[in-house]
Amino acid sequence: MRILQTGAAKAALFNPQEALDQLPNSILILDKTLGTVIYANTAAEVSLKISRKSLMGVELRDVFGENSVLEDVIIQFKLDGMTQRIDLLLGFGPLRADQKEFLAYLILAPLEGADLVILEWFEIDQQNKSAREERLIMQARANKELMRNLAHEIKNPLGGIRGAAQLLDYELPDPSLKEYTKVMIKEVDRLQTLVDRLLAPHKRQKQIAQVNIHEVLERVRSVVLAEFAQGLSITRFYDVSLPEIIGDKEILIQALLNIVHNAAQILEERIAHADALIRLETSISRNITIAKKRFKLALNVYIIDNGPGIAADIIDHIFLPLVSGRPSGSGLGLTLAQSFIQMHGGFISVQSEPGKTIFHILIPYTSPDFLNNIEPRGQT
Ligand SMILES: Nc1ncnc2c1ncn2[C@@H]1O[C@H](COP(=O)(O)OP(=O)(O)OP(=O)(O)O)[C@@H](O)[C@H]1O
Ligand SMILES: [Mg+2]
């Protein structure tokens, strides 16, 4: 009897709307004619990039546009009232015509007892994406370890080599031979800078505090605009209602600077034509999984540029150390950025085509304890 009462009390507290918002699949509840949306869960808002408020009362056609496959499914559903399941390409209607279509597994089912219809979907490559992300995270960890050890091995003898080259330089009787010792010293210094860059993030103790991501982005924006004063616009689409994240502000600035700086560098040609554009965007995602850990809230930062896109031969490797498409690049900027974001429990991914490159930084909302436990610090 007691158990029953507890169950009843729990049932009274149970809020089906909240439960729908917890689900990873996107859900729209439609009126029985399948004409208009009467409810959208959080995952649907994220998938469609349309707010729940804007979805209410909207016609399905305005959400997904003209879609003959979807229309056939709807006709079938209206005919037999049976649950329909299908893989299909979902496009966007006038509400978000700027978005790209995506492959989804869709289920259309009657909402028993309510005279309503439930339209549920999930993006099919989501699963592949998660597996890929996980692989990249593991790879990045292994790389970091390798690079750290290698950097140490290189760093140790560098001082000796430089000293010896300097001594040789003093002793050489023929000034024309000094050319060679100068080259040796210059190259040793270049290696030293490279190695220092590799080791720097592992030396510094993390300084964890509340961070306003928009302050970080504004700082990055002003630094890049100071260097690229003409021909480049950096526009902002900030969700100013975002709560602060927990993180290390300086490290986050460095990570974002590396990405925005790359974009500005690659935009050289457009800068000359004064139509180079970088767009900084922030938003929030709910119920996100990163490296098998589930987070209730995560911050998205998108850095989008209208440059030529990432060269096809390097796009799969750009987060690996020493991969560069620039003659004078050392190929460390993105390796470090990925490592810095992973220190925050997050992840950077990229999508690129000519005219549009999108770097997506995902940072979960966590606690200081969580961040301090990600990786032991100060070992080097
Ligand atoms: N927004 C972008 N558009 C096109 N290509 C890009 C973009 N961002 C990065 N890349 C490519 O990825 C490569 C790797 O970038 P990364 O920052 O790791 O190294 P880098 O810029 O070459 O050298 P550095 O260590 O000085 O940053 C770049 O050389 C460039 O070819
Ligand atoms: Mg770079």
The 10s digit of each residue's pLDDT in 313-332 is 898 889 888 889 998 888 88
Give the residue-averaged pLDDT of 189-205. 80
272-286 exposure pattern, b = at least 16 Cβ within 10 A, e = fewer: eeeebebbbbbebbb
Distance in Å, CA 332 to ligand 2 centroid:
7
Go through the chain and tell me how many residues it has: 380
Are 158 and 244 part of one and the same domain?
no
Are 301 and 313 part of one and the same domain?
yes
Are 195 and 254 part of one and the same domain?
no
Q: Does 143 contact ligand 1 (Cβ within 6 A)?
A: no
Are 138 and 172 part of one and the same domain?
yes
Residue 379 lies in a domain: no
Residue 288 lies in a domain: yes
Which is more confidently placed, 309 or 72?
Answer: 309
CA 282, CA 300: separation in Å to the nearest integer? 5
Q: Does 307 contact ligand 1 (Cβ within 6 A)?
A: yes
Q: Is 97 helix (H, G, I), strand (E, B) or coil?
A: coil
Span of 176-190, 207-221, 319-333, 366-380 with lowest mean pLDDT: 366-380
Distance in Å, CA 325 to ligand 1 centroid:
6
Contacts 24+ apart (CB under 8 A), 330-335: 330/194, 330/197, 332/194, 332/197, 332/198, 333/258, 333/259, 333/261, 333/262, 334/258, 334/259, 334/262, 335/140, 335/143, 335/147
Nearest to 248 by CA among 379, 375, 380: 375
Are 110 and 161 part of one and the same domain?
no
Return the best residue to mutate from 198, 262, 341 for the ligand 1 pocket (most ligand atoms within 8 A of CB): 262
Q: Does 305 contact ligand 1 (Cβ within 6 A)?
A: yes
Kindly tell me the sign of the dihedral angle through the C-alpha atoms of 63, 64, 70, 72: positive
Are 316 and 367 part of one and the same domain?
yes
Q: What is the CATH number of the domain that holds 75?
A: 3.30.450.20
Residue 350 CA from chain centroid, whole number? 7
Residue 377 lies in a domain: no
Are 318 and 188 part of one and the same domain?
no
Residue 222 has pLDDT above 90, yes or no: yes
Q: Does 318 contact ligand 1 (Cβ within 6 A)?
A: yes
Q: Does 198 contact ligand 1 (Cβ within 6 A)?
A: no
Would you state the pLDDT for residue 12?
67
Give the residue-averaged pLDDT of 119-133. 76
Return the best residue to mutate from 324, 330, 356 for the ligand 1 pocket (most ligand atoms within 8 A of CB): 324
Most confidently modeled of 176-190, 213-227, 287-301?
213-227
Q: Are strands 84-90 and 37-40 parallel, antiparallel or unpaired?
A: unpaired
Residue 162 has pLDDT above 60, yes or no: yes
* DSSP for 223-288, written as a single string: HHHHHS-SSEEEEEE--TTPPPEEE-HHHHHHHHHHHHHHHHHHTHHHHHTT-EEEEEEEEEEEEE
The 10s digit of each residue's pLDDT in 349-362 is 998 999 999 999 99
Nearest to 305 by CA among 351, 273, 238, 349: 351
Which is more confidently placed, 46 or 377?
Answer: 46
pLDDT class for 6, splitting at 50, 70, 90? low
For residue 331, give the ligand nearest its CA: 1
Residue nearest to ligand 1 atom 27, measured at CA: 333
Are 198 and 212 part of one and the same domain?
no
Q: Does 334 contact ligand 1 (Cβ within 6 A)?
A: yes
Residue nearest to ligand 1 atom 8, measured at CA: 262
Distance in Å, CA 278 to ligand 1 centroid:
15
Are 20 and 45 part of one and the same domain?
yes
Per-chain mean pLDDT for the chain: 86
Q: Does 262 contact ligand 1 (Cβ within 6 A)?
A: yes
Q: Does 336 contact ligand 1 (Cβ within 6 A)?
A: no
pLDDT class for 202, splitting at 50, 70, 90? low
> What are the CA-CA distances from residue 81 to residues 73, 76, 108, 112, 226 (Å)?
11, 8, 10, 11, 62
Residue 137 lies in a domain: yes
Q: Are strands 293-305 and 276-290 parallel, antiparallel or unpaired?
A: antiparallel
Are 267 and 363 part of one and the same domain?
yes
Number of domains in the chain: 3
Residue 378 has pLDDT above 50, yes or no: no
Residue 315 lies in a domain: yes
Q: What are phi and psi of 249, to 5 degrees?
A: -60, -45
Q: Is 303 helix (H, G, I), strand (E, B) or coil?
A: strand
CA 214, CA 283: separation in Å to the nearest integer? 11
Distance in Å, CA 324 to ligand 2 centroid:
8
pTM > 0.85: yes or no: no
Contacts of 356 (CB under 8 A, 6+ apart): 304, 305, 306, 309
Final residue belonging to a domain, choices 183, 202, 221: 202
Where would I find the H helices in the chain?
2-13, 16-22, 42-48, 52-55, 60-64, 68-80, 125-171, 178-203, 213-227, 249-266, 268-272, 333-342, 368-372
Final residue belonging to a domain, choices 202, 220, 241: 202
The 10s digit of each residue's pLDDT in 276-316 is 999 999 998 877 778 777 788 999 999 999 999 999 889 88
The token pair at 277 is: 């554009």
Residue nearest to ligand 1 atom 1, measured at CA: 263
Residue 195 CA from chain centroid, whole number? 27
Residue 378 lies in a domain: no
Give the residue-averaged pLDDT of 199-213. 83
Q: Are strands 116-123 and 26-30 parallel, antiparallel or unpaired?
A: antiparallel
Are 161 and 71 part of one and the same domain?
no
Would you state the pLDDT for residue 377?
41
Whether the CB-CB separation of 58 and 36 falls below 8 Å is answered with yes
pLDDT class for 190, splitting at 50, 70, 90? confident
CA 125, CA 122: separation in Å to the nearest integer? 9
Domain encompassing residue 161: 127-202
Kindly tell me the sign of the dihedral angle through the C-alpha atoms of 138, 141, 145, 151: positive
Distance in Å, CA 329 to ligand 2 centroid:
7
CA 201, CA 258: separation in Å to the nearest integer? 13
Residue 240 lies in a domain: yes
CA dihedral angle for residue 148, residue 149, residue 154, residue 158, rounded to 10 degrees: 80
Q: Does 366 contact ligand 1 (Cβ within 6 A)?
A: no
Are 135 and 275 part of one and the same domain?
no
The single-letter DSSP state of residue 100 is P
Residue 380 lies in a domain: no
Final residue belonging to a domain, choices 94, 123, 152: 123
Would you state the pLDDT for residue 9?
66
pLDDT class for 1, splitting at 50, 70, 90? very low
Q: What is the CATH number of the domain that holds 297?
A: 3.30.565.10
Residue 238 CA from chain centroid, whole number? 15
